[in-house]
Amino acid sequence: MRSFIIITVLSAFAACYSAAVLPREEEMVTIIYDDKSPNGTILSRADFNARSHQGWVLLSETNDFVPAVEGQVQSVGVFYRANFGVRIDRLVITTYGHLIPDVDRTPLGSNKMIVILTSRPGELIRSTIETYKRDNISS
């Protein structure tokens, strides 16, 4: 009986660990929207991290998770408003998983950004959404 309890507890720990482990970079897909790629460029997160980010200042970052519901689409929306006179010039969306959600967003170039991610039916949304402005010092 004692060994059964130990095996049950170890199984529960293993299940919790697998649910809590962050995804590997190979499982992450990053979409960049900026003046060079207004329709978005898709990169792996490793390729995105390898690029130089000199000249960009992070304005906001949100981490979103919406669990999957069988047969239903999921959505997450983010609204960011920068100070007056600040232009949002880059949007970076990193998704975790094998399917990229649909992205609906406002255009770059103002101080407001609305981003809505919509999953495929039965899929979860796990994402990071970042907004950037140009660094006026380095440009």
The single-letter code of the amino acid at 8 is T
**Rounded Cα–Cα distance for residues 65 and 57 (Å):** 25
pLDDT in tens, 55-64: 899 999 999 9
Tokens of 54: 């000199």
pLDDT in tens, 18-28: 444 444 545 78
Q: In 3D, which of 43, 45, 66, 59 has the Cα closest to residue 119?
A: 66
Q: Residue 136: its pLDDT value, please?
A: 78
Identify whether the C-beta of residue 132 lies closer than 8 Å to the C-beta of residue 57: yes
- Spell out the domains of the chain, with CATH numbers in brackets: 24-134 (2.60.40)
Q: Is 0.75 surpassed by the pTM of this model?
A: yes
Number of Cβ within a 10 Å radius of residue 33: 23
**Rounded Cα–Cα distance for residues 109 and 8 (Å):** 55
